[in-house]
Amino acid sequence: MAHIRNLVYTVIIILIIISIREAEIMRVSESRRRIYRVNRFDPRRGAGENGAAANVDCFPWGGLDGTDDYRPATSAGMAYTGDSLLVFMETAETGLRIEQKGFSGQVYTDSCMELFLMPDPENSRQYLNWEFNPAGAMYLSLGKDRYDRLDLPEENYRELFQVKTLTGTGGWSLEYRIPLSFLRRFFPSLEPRRGRAMRGNFYKCGDKTARPHFGCWSPIDLPRPDFHCPDFFGDLIIGEE
């Protein structure tokens, strides 16, 4: 009986420690969470000039395990139209790695820019993750966390999302469009309106590049690289009409 009682006490203590850790993560993430206002797209401006830039300037794992602390200047932007979300990202990354083609679950190993988006947090904790390399190779999946995800290998993704990439001597850029009709396949109650908050994060990475790096827009407070952490997502608030 004493053995069973001690085991029960041990389990209770472990659960208390886990609860305290989760509460601490929530407290830190809430205090550091960033906010981005998603304004209506103005066709008189360039794709990357609609609204302020969301700077991907947090590199919490820079120099991890003795690696080079590489932090390429990277920014993102988002706007909306009556039927789509528009995403624009650009980076000063050089020495690009471009190995993956088409739809690939290994895009993150190349030079890569990503958007993780929880479109309807009021009704669903699921989020989508778009990952692109400079050649337009893409990975896209849906789920609530890293482990329980559904791959979404859209055969005509370049046309569906109108993917555009541009590379140059000073870096590369990415532009694409997310139709609301696509989002409503998985979030049928989604209705973007002024003041409505989506949640998400913009990322810059390159796991197998010559200079591995892991950058984010909304800060992440975890000991090892992990982008699948929705508790640290920032707020993407639908703004001006």
Residues 60 and 134 in one domain: yes
Model pLDDT for residues 135-186, shown as the tens digit of each residue: 999 999 999 999 999 999 998 999 999 999 999 999 999 999 999 999 999 9
Residue 122 belongs to domain with CATH number: 2.60.40.1190
Residues 6 and 56 in one domain: no
Residues 193 and 233 in one domain: yes
Model pLDDT for residues 29-63, shown as the tens digit of each residue: 455 789 999 998 877 665 555 556 899 999 999 87
Task: Report CA-CA distances (Å) from 87 to 31, 51, 182, 205, 222.
Answer: 26, 11, 15, 17, 27
For residue 241, pLDDT over 60 is answered with: no
Looking at the structure of the chain, the number of domains it has is: 2
Residues 8 and 69 in one domain: no
Residue 138, C-beta contacts closer than 8 angstroms, at least 6 positions apart = 102, 103, 104, 107, 130, 131, 132, 157, 161, 163
Domain assignment of residue 12, given as a range: 1-32
Separation CA 162–CA 159 (nearest Å): 5
Residues 23 and 55 in one domain: no
Residues 15 and 69 in one domain: no
Residues 123 and 228 in one domain: yes
Residues 95 and 60 in one domain: yes
CB 38 within 8 A of CB 51: yes
- 124 DSSP 8-state letter: -
Residues 114 and 219 in one domain: yes
